[in-house]
Amino acid sequence: MKKSLPEVNYAKPNYYIYYDLADEDDKRRIITNKGDIKTIDKYDPQYKDYGKNYLKFIEGKPNDQMLKDYLVQFKKWCYSAKLNRVYSVDLTQGDIFAMRQVFFSLIQNYKKHEKITATEFKWFEKCANNALMYLREKDIELECTSYDRKMCYANILNSDIKIPTKSGKEYTLKKLPTIDNLKCGFYRVKIKTDDTDFTKCFVYSKDDVYVDISMRFLLENKEKFNLKIALIQDDEPNAYLFDDNDLIVLNSMTNKWFEVAKDLKTKYKNNPYMKQIASATWGVIQQRNKLKYTIDEINEKNMDVGLSDKHKYKIIGRSQIKGVDYVELVNTTCAYKYNLRLKPWVTAKARYDMGTLALKYLGNIVRIQTDSISFDKPIEINDENYAIESKTTGLIHWHNVNNYHNKTNDYKSKNFEYEYDSDEENL
């Protein structure tokens, strides 16, 4: 007789697994932890106290049988998460809750960090906070060898880069700093070069604002790319800098979390949620503090709302829920959910590391996407943090940087779409 899993007590007794119905607005198909399957309105107050878990880690179009199978597997994943002896993880409240729970239970002294000010928020957001992306040419097909940086953002969160714990000050500098006297902070500079290889390993900021890690990359490679780097001199400050006494080494705060996350990923290889704790936590802890209000609610509350950083609430988008229009806002006096000054430094460090690797093989690069880099021939990388990536190694048809088909193993990116015009071949 097959034994059932032992009961595990959770913060909330009820949860459900769901997928949204594509052809019905705000409707989702769910299975509760008791095995009941039904269609509900995602705003149904009856389920407000339930933990919600999206049907993840599946292939194919969702259906009821997948919900049933997933519930069985999910209960096993939840139980294995409870077996570790370091801390308690409640996956039934959702993966975001679990990642947040683990991270903040293990990092050191984060409550002592001062609140991020509206001025800092302005400088943070004007940086290029996206990943490094490059493709040699759209719609090409060639043999590639690709390398993936394992636990990219987790490793950066556990790196020795320095981050501030308090706000800094705006300055107007008269000359560009050298590498030796480059302070932690942000710089407004104009960059010019005629070398097209430069865009393979660097991301421009549309607002000409660069954090110190990006400035270091520029100064280190100034001669290689014949870069012209000039401080912007106008009526506005051209730098926002932090006091050296207010800096900490990042891994002094995160090391315990990293070791536990890495251990869980290794120990529970078949539990995808344990893998996420290591690989996806970064996306949770750097979220902006977004709010949603209707126009009527904004007027009733007499809120200071506008499109610039000078307003208390900055408009960042619009959405609609059940036919009601909402304005999406961010509170510029409390812009991020957590007072951790991470975003510009962590993303800049990811680009710096990938860009430094790209520098060695500029002529062989086919594609770069965040933590994955593809070459037109095998490359020797003496770094245990990089491993061959099977999805993008082989004969690859690149439709664009995120849209591809591996013809060697028939792997297709989730959004792969390519229409071959046979008539065109005969022209």
Helix (H, G, I), strand (E, B) or coil at 68: helix
pLDDT of residue 299: 92
The owner of tokens 């090409």 is 140
Confidence of residue 155 (pLDDT cuts 50, 70, 90): very high
Domain boundaries, the chain: 1-93, 290-331
pLDDT at 12: 65
pLDDT value of residue 377: 94
Read off the pLDDT of each residue in 137-154 and give the average, rounded to a whole number: 94
Mean predicted lDDT score pLDDT of the chain: 89
pTM (2 decimals)?
Answer: 0.86
Any bridge partners for residue 229, and if so which?
Answer: 191
- Owner of token pair 């947040």: 100
Q: How open is the CA angle 81-87-93, to the nearest 5 degrees?
A: 55
- Give the pLDDT of residue 83: 78
The reported pLDDT for the residue numbered 420 is 38
Going by C-alpha positions, the residue among 260, 261, 298, 297 that lies closest to residue 277 is 261
Reported as a pLDDT band with limits 50, 70 and 90, residue 37 is very high
**Phi and psi (nearest 5°) for 354?**
-70, -40
Asked if residue 419 has pLDDT above 50, the reply is: no
More confident residue, 242 or 417: 242
Cα atoms in the 13 Å half-sphere on the side-chain side of 211: 29
Q: Can you tell me which residue has the tokens 């849209």?
A: 403
Q: What is the secondary structure of 223-283 as a DSSP string?
A: TTTT-EEEE--SSS--EEE--GGGEEETHHHHHHHHHHHHHHHHHTTT-HHHHHHHHTHHH
| Cβ atoms 116, 45 nearer than 8 A | no
Do residues 17 and 24 make contact, with C-beta atoms less than 8 angstroms apart? no
Burial class for 417, CB neighbours closer than 10 Å (0-12, 13-18, 19+): exposed
- Check: CB of residue 306 under 8 Å from CB of residue 298: no
Query: 302: which 2 tokens?
Result: 């007499």
pLDDT recorded at residue 320 = 84
For the cut 70, the answer to whether the pLDDT of residue 11 exceeds it is: no
Predicted pLDDT of residue 368: 97
